Amino acid sequence: MNLLDDKKQCYVRSAYEACSPSEKEQLLRNLENVDWTILENLKEKVKERGSFSPIQAVDVRELTERREEFVEAGLAALRAGKVGAVLLAGGQGTRLGLDRPKGTLNIGIHRELYLFEQLLLNLMEVTDQAGAYVPLYVMTSTINHQETVKFFEEHDYFGYPGEYVKFFIQEMAPACDHEGRVYMASRTEPAMSPNGNGGWFGSMVKAGLLDDIHSRGIEWLNVFAVDNCLQRIADPLFIGATLVYGKECGAKVVRKASPEEKVGVMCLEDGRPSIAEYYELTDEMRNERTGKGDLAYGFGVILNYLFSEKRLEQVAREKLCIHVVEKKIPYRDVDGSFVKPDQPNGYKFETLALDMVHMMADCLPCEVVREREFAPIKNLHGVDSLDSARELMKGCGIEL
């Protein structure tokens, strides 16, 4: 696809015209390196879904009753070095509006406590209990890679042994306006952004990390988001439950606060595990109850999954669905001025980690107590914010 031949592509064409001869060459090289077929997803922004049905979850009651059995199984896997953790930290955190990696956010009030630091502290609770370290793979993007690595190094990996921490960079995708006109970030560079959190395993493979995974004997990967400061990582209870149930995937879930709550819920789609977005549920499904009186679609995902590594390798070549997401995209305008929008002005193209669950034959949703394990920081104030996360942390006895 030659964007410059397309009259519609005003941002690219005006940038080209403003370029010096050497910049023109640079721009052409940059355009050549992008997979423009991704723009075809604009034609079909809403994806067709299969037929949804409820999925069986293991709830807090069962997890409490069988705690010892599950924790033992989980600790045994951890001690045998079978579990690795993957921190998804390639996002741009646009809602938070931070100009640096989200994990560098200071969540402390009377002391310094960084989001990355809190996550490492959470992980070290587990590694202390197991008496074994868990390899931690950190996904970054070209935008925040250097700063992230430097932050870990400057803080001495927050007390975690450096040889157990590896970084890898995710891929990027172009962004465009509502009419499909590709935005430019500068005269020579198209506006690129991280291509979502779904490509993490593919990016690990590209980064050559399979050798590391195999040589360490890792059989399970626990993937999780950077922005939940109460995140339990490599949780032996969760790992053990998934292993004892013999599933190839596990998902931490929280009970929905009400049928209307806007979270993606675990379900089956055409008989395979899946996640239905809140707007994909009909009124009837939203309010459907099980025999026990619980909501049939009552467990929301919190971006903490455990995957069989072998299975991930098997499905690595399968294409993940591309989500067209409306976002605020800074760009170079046709007159050469630079625009930083305060409202969404176009689309980014993202794959999502939750779609990998549907590639698995089965999945065990494990209920966790929201107040203990789910404090996402998406915004500075309001819902899912630094403010709400601080309150939840205080509720867990963490001094800030």
Alpha-carbon distances of 139 from 15, 154, 161, 200, 216, rounded to whole Å: 32, 18, 18, 7, 19
Phi, psi of 53 (to 5 degrees): -145, 160
Question: Look-up: residue for tokens 């591309």?
Answer: 322
Task: Look up residue 362 and give its two tokens.
Answer: 């089965």
Q: How far is the CB of 198 from ligand UTP (least distance, A)?
A: 8
Our CB check for ligand UTP shows the closer of 71 and 229 to be 229
Our CB check for ligand UTP shows the closer of 225 and 265 to be 225
Q: How far is the CB of 135 from ligand UTP (least distance, A)?
A: 18
Backbone torsion region of residue 148, taken as left when φ is above 0, otherwise alpha when ψ lies between -120 and 50, otherwise beta: alpha
Judge contact between 296 and 55, C-beta under 8 A.
Answer: no
Our CB check for ligand UTP shows the closer of 228 and 308 to be 228
Q: Residue length, the chain?
A: 400
Q: How far is the CB of 328 from ligand UTP (least distance, A)?
A: 9
Our CB check for ligand UTP shows the closer of 93 and 240 to be 93
Please give the residue ranges that form the binding site for ligand UTP (CB under 6 A). Answer: 88-95, 102, 139, 170, 194-197, 225-227, 303, 378
Q: How far is the CB of 189 from ligand UTP (least distance, A)?
A: 18
User: Any idea what DSSP says for residue 358?
Assistant: G
Q: How far is the CB of 212 from ligand UTP (least distance, A)?
A: 19
Our CB check for ligand UTP shows the closer of 196 and 300 to be 196
Q: How far is the CB of 297 from ligand UTP (least distance, A)?
A: 21
Nearest to 173 by CA among 193, 159, 151, 153: 193
Judge contact between 156 and 148, C-beta under 8 A.
Answer: no
Backbone torsion region of residue 157, taken as left when φ is above 0, otherwise alpha when ψ lies between -120 and 50, otherwise beta: left
Our CB check for ligand UTP shows the closer of 9 and 203 to be 203
